[in-house]
């Protein structure tokens, strides 16, 4: 694998715009369960209760939603960034990161030290809560505290509107600004690195193809084969943390050689 690692490192150093695309596989190594796996929360709850339309229309769905969302939030709150998150943060520090497009809602890129402006959260974030009426933003932990004290479907202090974690639910539209910017950045980059995503969830899954079409090199680092392996310039099947730690080390060696 050393040869592949060195190749990726060379490409990173030579690239003008590096876009990293992060999926759930990046965060499982931080102990965050993949919710779609057997035994995950979807096995115990009925996803239909969590359609956005149901959240809007009835109190019972809202209470069920908040209970499930709390169950998902607790491990995220405790989770710490792993070697892959830290390597991506370091890429920003050495000036080799255009942005991270992430499907994760756990806030671990922030915790790892990437700056807010570099992170595009396609599915929103579980670290904040938004009022669906006036769009006021709350810190998640404050609202969870209210939930623990008995507000089973909390409402906005200012306007009485419905509060919902700032993640994108089934039936809720993708965040327009982030999605547009993600496509724009994908089309302008010259190196697109996928880490820990099987690339099946749309529209995110089409971004590697957009990058390719505009001439970027495509690297995929994932434990299992993905839907885009065939179009990739390089595929590494491995654990995100150890692969990225090695890539970073190699990037630093190349940078040191050239200075």
What positions carry a catalytic annotation? 123
- Is residue 113 within 8 A of residue 85, CB to CB? The reply is no
Between helix 83-93 and helix 240-258 the angle, nearest 10°, is: 30
Question: How many angstroms separate the CA atoms of 102 and 20, rounded?
Answer: 8
State which residue, 10 or 157, has the beta carbon closest to Zn ion: 157
Annotate each residue in 211-230 with x if it binds Zn ion (CB under 5 A) or - if it does not, as one string.
--------------------
DSSP codes, 177-226: HHHHHHHHHHHH-SEEEEES--S-STTGGGHHHHHHHTT-EEEEEESS--
To Zn ion, the closest distance from the beta carbon of 156 in angstroms equals 3
Tell me which of 31, 80, 93, 134 binds Zn ion, using CB under 5 A. 134
State which residue, 159 or 253, has the beta carbon closest to Zn ion: 159
Annotate each residue in 113-132 with x if it binds Zn ion (CB under 5 A) or - if it does not, as one string.
------------------x-
Q: Is 158 in the site for Zn ion (CB under 5 A)?
A: yes
- Is residue 129 within 8 A of residue 165, CB to CB? The reply is yes
Q: Is 166 in the site for Zn ion (CB under 5 A)?
A: no
Q: Which residues contact 102 (CB under 8 A, 6 or more apart)?
A: 21, 22, 23, 109, 119, 120, 121, 122, 123
Q: Is 156 in the site for Zn ion (CB under 5 A)?
A: yes
To Zn ion, the closest distance from the beta carbon of 56 in angstroms equals 14
Between helix 59-78 and helix 140-148 the angle, nearest 10°, is: 120
To Zn ion, the closest distance from the beta carbon of 163 in angstroms equals 8
Q: Is 157 in the site for Zn ion (CB under 5 A)?
A: no
State which residue, 136 or 237, has the beta carbon closest to Zn ion: 136
State which residue, 1 or 134, has the beta carbon closest to Zn ion: 134
Strand order in the sheet with 99-102: 119-121, 99-102, 18-22, 191-195, 217-222, 234-237
To Zn ion, the closest distance from the beta carbon of 132 in angstroms equals 8
Tell me which of 161, 201, 233, 255 binds Zn ion, using CB under 5 A. 161
State which residue, 129 or 244, has the beta carbon closest to Zn ion: 129
To Zn ion, the closest distance from the beta carbon of 61 in angstroms equals 19
137 - beta bridge partners? 130
H/E run at residue 245: helix 240-258
Residues of the shown chain interacting with Zn ion in the complex, contacts defined by CB under 5 A:
131, 133-134, 136, 156, 158-159, 161
């Amino acid at each position: 694998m050393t040869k592949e690692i060195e190749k990726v490192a060379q490409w990173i150093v030579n690239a003008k715009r590096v876009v990293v695309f992060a999926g759930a596989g990046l965060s499982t190594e931080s102990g965050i369960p993949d919710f779609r796996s057997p035994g995950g929360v979807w096995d115990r709850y009925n996803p239909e209760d969590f359609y956005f339309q149901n959240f809007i229309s009835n109190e019972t769905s809202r209470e069920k939603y908040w209970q499930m969302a709390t169950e998902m939030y607790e491990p995220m709150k405790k989770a710490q960034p792993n070697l892959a998150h830290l390597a991506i943060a370091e890429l920003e520090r050495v000036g080799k990161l255009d942005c991270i497009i992430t499907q994760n809602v756990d806030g671990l890129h922030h915790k790892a030290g990437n700056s807010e402006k570099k992170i595009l959260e396609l599915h929103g974030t579980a670290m904040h809560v938004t009022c669906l009426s006036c769009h006021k933003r709350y810190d998640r932990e404050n609202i969870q505290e209210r939930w623990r004290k008995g507000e089973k479907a909390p409402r906005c202090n200012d306007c009485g509107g419905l509060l919902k974690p700032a993640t994108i639910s089934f039936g809720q539209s993708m965040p327009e600004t982030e999605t547009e910017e993600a496509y724009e950045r994908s089309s302008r980059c010259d190196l697109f690195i996928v880490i820990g995503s099987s690339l099946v969830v749309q529209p995110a899954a089409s971004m590697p193809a957009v990058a390719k079409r505009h001439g970027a090199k495509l690297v995929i680092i994932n434990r299992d084969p993905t839907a885009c392996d065939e179009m990739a310039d390089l595929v590494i099947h491995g654990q995100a943390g150890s692969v990225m730690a090695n890539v970073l080390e190699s990037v630093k060696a190349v940078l040191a050689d050239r200075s």
